[in-house]
Every structure is written in C-alpha cells, then in structure tokens.
Amino acid sequence: MTASPPPAVSWQSPEPEAGPAPGVTFAPHGPRLVAYILDSLILAVILIPIFLVSTGFMLSDATIVHDRLTALGPNAALGFLLMFIGLLIALLYFPFFWATGGETPGMRPFGLRVVRDADGSRIGWGTAFLRTLGFWIAGAVFYIGFIWIFIDRRRRGWQDLIAGTVVVKEA
C-alpha cells in the first residue's frame, strides 16, 4: 500500500479587505487610538489651565465662616464664566471638528476622516452630536463600545453604529 502524497499547500497572501470605496480603507485600529490620545492631550492642554484659573478666581473671592461658604465676590463670577467656557470647549471639541471637516486635529496626521456610513459623505452637526453621545455611551460600559471596533468587520464602534458613521483612511 502506497501512501498518498501530502496535499500541496499554497502560501498565497489573503485577499485584501474590501474598503468602502476605491482608494479608501476602513481606519486601522492603531492610528485611531493614537488620534484619540492626541485629541485628549490637546483638550487637556486647553482645559486644565482654564479650570485652574477659574478655580483660583472662585477661591480668591470666597468667604468661609465656620466651614460654610457665606459669600462670593465679583471674581467668582469671572471664575464661573471661565468654567462655563471650559465646559463648552469640552462639549464642542469633537462635534465641531467632525461637522466642519470630518477630522479632528488628532486624526489629521493619519489621514482619518469620519463619514456617513450610507454613502461616505460628510456628516452634519446633528450626526456629530449624536456620535459624541455615542462616545459617552461607548465609554460608559467598561469601554466595550470602543472594543467593538475589533469585532465589527467595518471597524465601527458603538459611537459609529449609533450615529450611522464610519471612520476611513484616505490613501
């Protein structure tokens, strides 16, 4: 009895994953993470001084008697205004950049862009705010919504699924 030869093994590279359009691919995981870290650092550099200065203004005018805050002076109003401006910056950072150009400063070096999942067009303000809400939801549940990017074949996180968006890398 003769043994049959082992089957021929072909070492071919796998088929390239189809992108959403010619010259466009779904954004890789690494650049997306680094872009988010860069955006977080940019926000921190802007917001930390604003909140420190506003807290200083508020505390400089506070009158505390018997462990109770009894009065706030005019500098406190300036402190509250600065705190409000910082809050607006924090809330509008991502939606502003997504709605006006499709990319944040952190995404720009990697050629990443947020587009509508249906047709690849730019997103508007409503979709940008919806995606921001999705960001909060994705992070609120032990970051599972961000980890979902590794599961979805189009690399969409919960924020993308909620807003109907996808992040692409343009060649």
CB atoms within 10 A of CB 155: 20
Rounded to two decimals, the pTM is 0.84
Specify the pLDDT at position 8. Answer: 67
Specify the pLDDT at position 19. Answer: 74
Q: Is 126 left (phi over 0), alpha (psi -120 to 50) or beta?
A: alpha
Q: Which amino acid is at 125?
A: W
Specify the pLDDT at position 66. Answer: 66
CA angle 97, 82, 64 (to 5 degrees): 150
Q: Is 132 exposed, middle or buried (0-12, 13-18, 19+ CB in 10 A)?
A: buried
Residuewise pLDDT in 10s, the chain (171 residues): 667 777 666 666 666 666 788 888 999 999 999 999 999 999 999 999 999 999 888 888 777 666 676 667 788 889 899 999 999 999 999 999 999 999 999 999 999 999 999 999 999 999 999 999 999 999 998 999 999 999 999 999 999 999 999 999 987
Specify the pLDDT at position 73. Answer: 76
Q: Is 42 exposed, middle or buried (0-12, 13-18, 19+ CB in 10 A)?
A: middle
